[in-house]
Structure 1
Amino acid sequence: MPLSISVITSTYKLNYYITGLVRLIQGLCAGCAFPSSHGILANWCPPSERGRMGGFIYTGLYAGPVVGFFFGGFIAKYAGHYSIYYASAILGLIWSLAFVFLVYEKPSEHPTISEEELIYIEKSIAAVQSLYDEKETRSMDRVPWKAILISLPVWAICLAHFARGWTFYLLLTNQPAFLNAFGFGVTENGTLGSVPHIMTVIVALSSGFIADNMRLNLLWSTTNVRKIMTCTGYIIEGTCLIIMCQVTNPYIGIALLSIGVGSSGLMVSGWHLNHQDLAPRYASVLAGFTAVIGTSAGIISPIVAGILTKEQDLIGWRRVFTITSLVLFIASLFYMIFASGELQSWATRTQSEQKI
């Protein structure tokens, strides 16, 4: 996080290429966060509470843009846009210190956890997992890469992650330009730009309770819950984007964008937690693998947007959002057919049984 300050320094003192290098390093470091969080959650989340805990935790991914867009406009207007980097670096440093001193990989390593809570968590996870003794060294396991690479449920997550990466990074990098095409200024850009992400936060927080209720009270299978949460969110989002392509009123456009992007928050209790369903032991490995696919979309979608919106008009943006809708619909169809919420056979093998 403090690398954000380095970006400013390199911009002032050095040149564009050094700035790009620092941003590359920043991205490489940040890329470890998603996989590692899955590994920790697999050890801490009882299956019956996975939706609520996961929904609450991963809401932070979407709360960040809310804070960034909302306050970024005001900071840029009154303190200069470089001040945004300083604010981000300070917040990142505070979070980093808190994470280092407060977070533990396993409940058994936490110094202040009660015995009752420890027993509850370990028994809840063991009842579903029953994979290996706690004393077994996980680092000695051979990752069953062949089984992972030919697993359709894994590729269903990959495609869903790709679709989310496409829309998330598209908006993160191009939303201000899109709002400019609608005629909004800097302050309005920051305020209105935060609305879709506020909706995502609200829906994501609610989705965890909805998903757990569907599993516990309605007795729906984990597979069906993951499919419904993911596909419903993506289909609503894609539909709103298509309708948005036909409107010219800027406020109706923002409303549709907010509903669409907000509905995608349902996937926080869908594919976002699916890695832990398929293979708790390899949750961090799967998360890292799917993150590569998802992040690649974040490289492609801004390039596509840049090519199609050279004129910075609404016609170009309509093309961009039409393509985005197709990506969401294709990902939804593939996920609906091939996704699974069940523990995979290749994730239950002991070390001696694993074969690449």
Structure 2
Amino acid sequence: MAVGHYEVGPVVKQSKDGGEAVPHVSSTMERDADADQGPTWLFWRRRRYIVAFLAFLGFFNVYALRVNLSVAIVAMTANRTVQGENGTVSYERDFDWDSKTQGWVLSSFFYGYIVTQIPGGWLAARIGGHRVFGIGIVATSLFTLITPPLANASVYVLVAVRIVEGLFEGVSYPCIHAVWARWAPPLERSRLATLAFSGSYVGTVVAMPVCGILAKNVGWPSIFYVFGALGVAWFLAWWWIVAGSPEEDPNISPEELAYIQKALGTKPNKEIIHPWGKFLTSLPVWSIVMAHFCENWGFYTLLTQLPTFMKDTLHFDLKDAGFMSALPYLVMAIILQFAGHLADWLVARDILNLTNLRKVFTCGAFLSQTIFMLLAAFLLTPAGAVTSLTIAVGLGAFAWSGFSVNHLDVAPQHASVLMGLSNTVATLPGMISPSITGYIVQNKSAAEWKIVFYIASSIYLVGAIFYGVFASGERQEWAKESSSERKDEEHAYTNPALEMERT
């Protein structure tokens, strides 16, 4: 039967505690939807997984474009041996920037990035998340391509360019939730979202050594040309392949369209009014914000300081420090795939309702990270510290399968704005944590690094407690439709004709 000639809301599956858990699609319906699309590993036959894979590549570019300057600036300010005609040897470098200027250049990105989180989510809800996501990344890519000549013009121009790049990249995380609000069935939210987010960590792991190779063999400008070009190429594929919703995708199969529509419901398009007062007074929303802040504190602390810690305290050479610093994020990218599938499986089998799932994954990860951060502080041996920090970062994948998808649970139609809100607060650690670490670690002693790890452990613990008490996986009352619309929806579920049509 043709899909779309009647409106259908999501079939609500009650949780074990009697509350509303998730819009339910039976495993039989899920199997029927996939029956004509081949084995599960043939992801390209499912348009929602193509969207997720391209989003993965998009986040790969997001982080590659973000960290490229961190590597390039080393080559830009490194001394270069120059031999004169008369045999004299001198040293010169392209940019004579002191450490303070370099820190200013590297941090400038975040001053733009923090500004567009909430506006990006709001814009995505109005014109479509896929458009804002694509435009944000391609604009950053284009500015990256012109970075070398602008850097040669003036350090102030370079700072301005990095701020503008941050403005455009700031929309990426908020607007992807607007994409999932239309594309991700509730029982697949965790796996699709974490697949996309894992691109960030793979981008970090791949980009840093590749940037080093390019700088050494081709020259530092090639870093910006290569990754800028990759971002533009990705945008062309994204713009051509990804539609704003399943209904707009001409290549989606009727079975997959029916499955997504029955899982999410088809609603008439209407302007979304965001209840800002409800956002700011909702404890479940603030539990997401708190969890996002706490996870990013540990992430940014290690991302910016781990190579220094390994070199100065664990006495790795620079090459080994770079590899070991990337290892935790590679482990996290791998675990993210497992954690997302496990989360969806536990909900689909009714082993955990959404509220308990989000709490178990997020609080369990935070408590584990607290323990392993403390272990790293006490061990301070190369093998012990690297193992502890790798496990701590890797287990963050379970937290990302918890709080980072939670926006879609509590208010799916407002998820992009809520992600903008939480990521605004979660950007602050990227600006604060390196400064605090620099203030504490002045003599590069093991005792000073212990304080850094104690702070991160304490923040993880606070996040676990707050999220465990106040988080929810249920759609909030202020995010539900009007009572009259809910009654019409409930009547549709019990209408025998529609029930027969569904089966």
Judge same fold: TM > 0.5, yes or no.
yes
Alignment of 1:205 with 2:337, yes or no, is yes
Would the alpha carbon gap of residues 302 and 157 (structure 1) be closer, same or farther in structure 2, given more than 3 Å must change? same
**Which residue, out of 361, 371, 389, partners 1:239?**
371
The equivalent residue for 1:145 is 276
**Which residue, out of 293, 303, 311, partners 1:162?**
293
Sequence identity (%)? 34
Q: SS in structure 1 opposite 2:473?
A: coil
Cα distance, 1:21 vs. partner? 1.7
Q: SS in structure 2 opposite 1:59?
A: helix
Segment drifting more, 113-122 vs 255-264? 113-122
Cα distance, 1:42 vs. partner? 1.1
Contact 1:229 1:269 in 2 (8 A): yes
Alignment of 1:190 with 2:322, yes or no, is yes
Alignment of 1:111 with 2:271, yes or no, is no
> In structure 1, what residue type is equivalent to 2:293?
F
After superposition, give the CA deviation of every residue in 1:267-304 in whole Å (9 maximum; x if it has no partner). Answer: 22100100000011111111111111111222111111
After superposition, give the CA deviation of every residue in 1:4-52 in whole Å (9 maximum; x if it has no partner). Answer: 334433332212x222221111111111011110010011111111122
After superposition, give the CA deviation of every residue in 1:148-170 in whole Å (9 maximum; x if it has no partner). Answer: 11000000000011012212222
Alignment of 1:33 with 2:172, yes or no, is yes
Equivalent runs, 1:249-288 vs 2, <5 Å: 249-288=381-420
The equivalent residue for 2:106 is none
Contact 2:145 2:229 in 1 (8 A): no
Alignment of 1:293 with 2:425, yes or no, is yes
Would the alpha carbon gap of residues 100 and 155 (structure 1) be closer, same or farther in structure 2, given more than 3 Å must change? same
The equivalent residue for 1:129 is none
Q: SS in structure 2 opposite 1:233?
A: helix
Alignment of 1:8 with 2:148, yes or no, is yes
Cα distance, 1:71 vs. partner? 3.2
The equivalent residue for 1:324 is 456
Contact 1:241 1:322 in 2 (8 A): yes
Cα distance, 1:253 vs. partner? 1.2
The equivalent residue for 2:225 is 86
Would the alpha carbon gap of residues 125 and 148 (structure 1) be closer, same or farther in structure 2, given more than 3 Å must change? same
Would the alpha carbon gap of residues 308 and 167 (structure 1) be closer, same or farther in structure 2, given more than 3 Å must change? same
After superposition, give the CA deviation of every residue in 1:179-202 in whole Å (9 maximum; x if it has no partner). Answer: 221222332122212110011011
Q: SS in structure 1 opposite 2:193?
A: helix
The equivalent residue for 2:50 is none
- Rounded Cα–Cα distance in structure 1 between residues aligned with 2:220 and 2:321: 14
Number of positions where the alignment pairs a residue of Structure 1 with one of Structure 2: 344
Contact 1:77 1:186 in 2 (8 A): no
**Which residue, out of 255, 260, 284, partners 1:121?**
260
- For the aligned residue pairs, the C-alpha RMSD in angstroms reads 2.1
Equivalent runs, 1:58-69 vs 2, <5 Å: 58-69=197-208
Q: SS in structure 1 opposite 2:252?
A: coil
> In structure 2, what residue type is equivalent to 1:2?
L
Contact 2:142 2:232 in 1 (8 A): yes
**Which residue, out of 464, 472, 476, partners 1:340?**
472
Segment drifting more, 21-30 vs 66-75? 66-75
Which one has a larger percent helix, Structure 1 or Structure 2? 1
- Rounded Cα–Cα distance in structure 2 between residues aligned with 1:229 and 1:72: 34
Would the alpha carbon gap of residues 89 and 185 (structure 1) be closer, same or farther in structure 2, given more than 3 Å must change? farther
Work out which structure has the larger RCO, using CA pairs closer than 8 Å and 6 or more positions apart in sequence: 1
Q: TM-score, normalised by structure 2?
A: 0.65
The equivalent residue for 2:356 is 224
Would the alpha carbon gap of residues 86 and 313 (structure 1) be closer, same or farther in structure 2, given more than 3 Å must change? farther
